Amino acid sequence: MLTEMGQGMQMIPIESDTVVERVIAQITNMISLGRFKMGQKLPSEFELMDELHVSRNSLREAMKILSALGIVEIKRGDGTYICQRVKPSMFDSVIYSLIMESSTEEEIIELRQTLDEAVLSHAIRKCTQNDIDHLQEMIEQMRAFFAEGSISRAAKLDYQFHMYLTQCSRNSFLSRIVTGVYRLFEGSIEKNIRTEELFAMADEHHQEIVDCLIARDESQIRRVVTNSLSSWRQNVRQKI
């Protein structure tokens, strides 16, 4: 079974130190090399233990971590599979938080500008009319919440607008990266709406995004995203 699945690629027996970390490294390496593919069932515990020269406890601990990371799915009574789709994990926010802490304000601003431009570019080419209608409805609801003084609800909808736009990119890897980063921006997005003196500006910027999708006009991406982030950019320079 291993020879059929491995196609000549063998994992290296693991030494006793940092066993769990090395099991994780070996499995992820085999995924990147193409030995294990998305949706594929992994060899049995006994086969992996034999090939890696590790104990059952070490192997199971490594699989628990890989499962938490959204890399494998453990099906009781069946076995362990490589996940069909990349799933956001609780570790994403920790990783991105560390990145943010070691970055300058300008680097953070550039990161969001770059990600938002990439999302809008993909969304222009891949979004459906239903997607556009839903985004327009979210803008209308946001307007209504702001008009009635429900700032927190408006802020939450603003965040959801950007998250839905990310889904419209139809790119799971881009969505995972953007979702992880945006979790760190959620507070600053709410602060931005709370301190926005003229909500009409924020309203206009969201509408420009939707109009860009309707026109399928990629030439306007940088201008639209820059306008959308204008007031947030000022707030993030103070503190995220």
Label residue 239 by pLDDT band (50, 70, 90). low
Least-confidence region, from 20-24, 44-48, 73-77, 187-191: 187-191
- The rounded mean pLDDT for the chain is 83
Q: Across the chain, how many H-helices and E-strands are there?
A: 12, 2
Residue recorded with tokens 């939707």: 210
Label residue 172 by pLDDT band (50, 70, 90). confident
Least-confidence region, from 34-43, 93-102, 122-131, 229-238: 93-102
Asked if residue 213 has pLDDT above 50, the reply is: yes
pLDDT at 78: 93
Q: Which H helix or E strand runs over 73?
A: strand 72-75
pLDDT at 2: 43
**What is the SS3 assignment for 179-203?**
HHHHHHHHHHHHHHHHHCCCHHHHH
User: What is the CATH number assigned to the segment(s) 90-238?
Assistant: 1.20.120.530
Number of CB atoms found within 10 A of residue 38's CB: 11
The three-state secondary structure class of 74 is: strand
pLDDT tens-digit series, residues 43-79? 999 999 999 999 999 999 999 988 877 889 999 889 9
Tokens of 21: 């970390």
pLDDT, average across residues 167-176: 89
Asked if residue 5 has pLDDT above 60, the reply is: no
Core vs surface per residue 14-36: b (16+ CB within 10 A) or e: beeeebbebbbebbeebbeeebb
The three-state secondary structure class of 8 is: coil
Identify the burial level of 137 via C-beta atoms within 10 angstroms of its C-beta, where 0-12 means exposed, 13-18 middle and 19 or more buried.
exposed
* Residues contacting 79, CB < 8 A, separation 6+: 41, 42, 44
Determine contact, residues 20/62, Cβ cutoff 8 Å: yes
- For the chain, give every domain's residue range: 2-82, 90-238
Residue 78 identity (one-letter amino acid)? D
* Domain 2-82: CATH class, spelled out: mainly alpha
Tokens of 25: 């490294």
CA dihedral 191, 192, 194, 199 (to 10 degrees): -170
pLDDT tens-digit series, residues 143-156? 898 888 888 888 88
The predicted model scores a pTM of 0.65
